[in-house]
Structure 1
Amino acid sequence: MNHKENTIFITGGATGIGRALAHRWHDLGNTVIIAGRRREALEEAVAGRPGMKFYVLDVTNREEIAAVTAQLIAEHPDFNVLVNCAGVSGAEDVTIARDLSHGEKIVETNFLGPVRMIDALVDHLKGRPAAAIVVVSSGTGFVPYPAAPTYSASKAALHSYTLSLRALLRDAVQVIEIVPPQVATDLMAGLKDSPYSVPLEKFADDVMAQLIAHESEDEIIVDEVKPFRFAERDGTVRDLLTAMAEGS
């Protein structure tokens, strides 16, 4: 992915990882458009950043996706990079019968949201030079966090979908997966204060450093997530699962 001269559209760009990356791409001189559900958070994210724009969008709403993506292409015909960063999480106790509505929301946001966004924009992207689709998955897509099983499963599904997409678009659009470790954001209660969370600014800096240094890379793997990303290769999946289950 080129790190300059792009027009980048980022879902989940008002807060957390999406916002941190949006600001860094904007600092590099890219045209950046962010999207999210809350107008107030979007306005705060673009404040003081000339040329940075936003759309209000809930990626679980098919009608909003259709309307916003049509507006995006009409207003920014040179748009060439889609970044899927919108996500929700939450702890669950899957050992008892429970209300499944939040788990269903997680799947619809984290997996079906990117699928629908890609479907709405892939034809446009295939016609653009230096086009890229970026998905933000998670280390828990490789070794699940037992206390958040639906979130972990949604990220595993997203990783699998990304592999297929990359193979099919190999001659038309670069497909990049960013694999975060546990990052100090508001995604889940306690992450900001956990000593195991990577500071958000450090994570964003490390991601951008890799994107700039290795423009042809299709996976961005920071040091802190490597034990999860390569756990199956290293034979450590069971040990990591046991440690997380005992600590949750």
Structure 2
Amino acid sequence: MNLTGNTVFIPGSTSGIGLALAVGLHERGNTVIVGGRRAELLERIAEEHPGIDTVQIDTADAESVASAAREVLARHPDLNVLVAMAGIMRVEDWRKPETFLASAEEVVTTNVLGPIRLIGAFVEHLQGRPDATIVTVSSGLAFAPLRATPSYNASKAAIHMLSESLRLQLAGTSVKVVELVPPSVRTALLPGQESSDFAMPLDEFVGEVFELLETQPEAKEIQVERVKFLRYGEARGDYDQVVQTLNAADPHGK
């Protein structure tokens, strides 16, 4: 993926990793459109970062995705990069069905159906662009589970396999599929995560992501060094130790 001269839509990017990527891409000479549910956050982003366009979108709502896609393509017909950023994380106790079912459905709707709807809304257009990219966002937890977040773990494993499958189907087209695999990062994904010593500082994570994109433009997965402990546990043969260490170290794993 080239890092300049693109037109990039990043829904679910009014804060955290998504917003940091949006700002970084804009600074590198890309046209960037940020999407989110809350109009006030979008207005603030537009004010604080002149030149970044915004569109209101709720990726949990199929009609909202379709409407936002029409708006984005009408304003930016040269769009060639989609970053399917939307995601939520919930602590759940699956020993008590009354406490987790609603949460699990919300996580799957946002984290799995959201990216599917986004890709469905843009994939035909992207195939008409000479150099296009779909960026999916999985997690290190797609490869090693955090005990406290079963639905999130499963949703990100689904995104990983979806990315692998799409790459096969889109081979021979102009569309590349790149999977971003974050570790725990200091964002508001879970309460307390922004100040967690276990999580990677946001600026450090985004800086390493851009370095990898610059030095490995043909990479299929963007893996910062810190996520490789989770990503390759099974391949190394120490998967059980990885899971034990992860759940002992992370405060949400207790």
Normalising TM by the smaller chain, what interval?
A: over 0.9
1:124-152 Cα shifts (integer Å, max 9, x gaps)? 00000210000111000111111001001
Aligned to 2:83: 83
> SS of 2:48's equivalent?
coil
SS in structure 2 opposite 1:146? coil
Aligned ranges for residues 1-248 of structure 1 at < 5 Å? Answer: 1-99=1-99, 100-172=101-173, 173-246=175-248, 247-248=253-254
Q: Alignment partner of 1:192: what SS?
A: helix
In 2: Cα distance, 1:148 partner to 1:120 partner: 29
What is the one-letter code of the residue matched to 2:130? P
2:7–2:30 CA contact under 8 A, matched in 1: yes
Query: 1:180-236 CA distances to partner (integer Å, 9 max, x unpaired)?
Result: 000000001121121111000110110011111221111100000001111110122
Deviation string for 1:143-185 (max 9, x for gaps)?
Answer: 1111001001000000001100011112220100010000000
Report how far residue 98 of structure 1 moved. Answer: 2.1
1:106–1:150 CA contact under 8 A, matched in 2: yes
2: distance between equivalents of 1:198 and 1:245?
Answer: 16
TM-score w.r.t. the length of structure 2 is: 0.95
SS in 2 for 1:180: coil
Give the C-alpha shift of residue 81 in structure 1: 0.1
Code of the aligned partner of 2:73: I
Deviation at 1:7? 0.3
8 A Cα contact 2:92 2:103, kept in partner: no
Cα contact 1:2–1:130 (8 A) shared by 2:
no
Deviations 1:77-110 (A, max 9, x none): 0000000111100101112222411211101101
8 A Cα contact 1:88 1:106, kept in partner: yes
Q: Distance in 2 between matches of 1:221 and 1:245?
A: 21
In 2, the alpha carbon distance for the partners of 1:244 and 1:8 equals: 34
Counterparts of 1:243 and 1:15 in 2: how far apart (Å)? 29
- Report the count of equivalent residues: 248
Give the superposition deviation at 1:244: 3.6
| Structure 2 gaps, min length 5 | none
What secondary structure is seen at the aligned counterpart in 2 of 1:98? helix
Q: Which runs of 5+ in 1 are unaligned?
A: none
| Change in CA separation of 1:242 and 1:169 when aligned onto 2, cut-off 3 Å | same
What is the CA–CA distance in structure 2 between the aligned matches of 1:26 and 1:243, rounded to whole Å?
A: 38
Superposition deviation, residue 114 in structure 1: 0.3
8 Å contact from structure 1 (residues 179, 225) kept in 2? yes
The higher-RCO structure (CA 8 Å, 6+ apart) is 1
TM-score by length of 1: 0.97
* Pair 1:236–1:42, CA change in 2 (3 A): farther
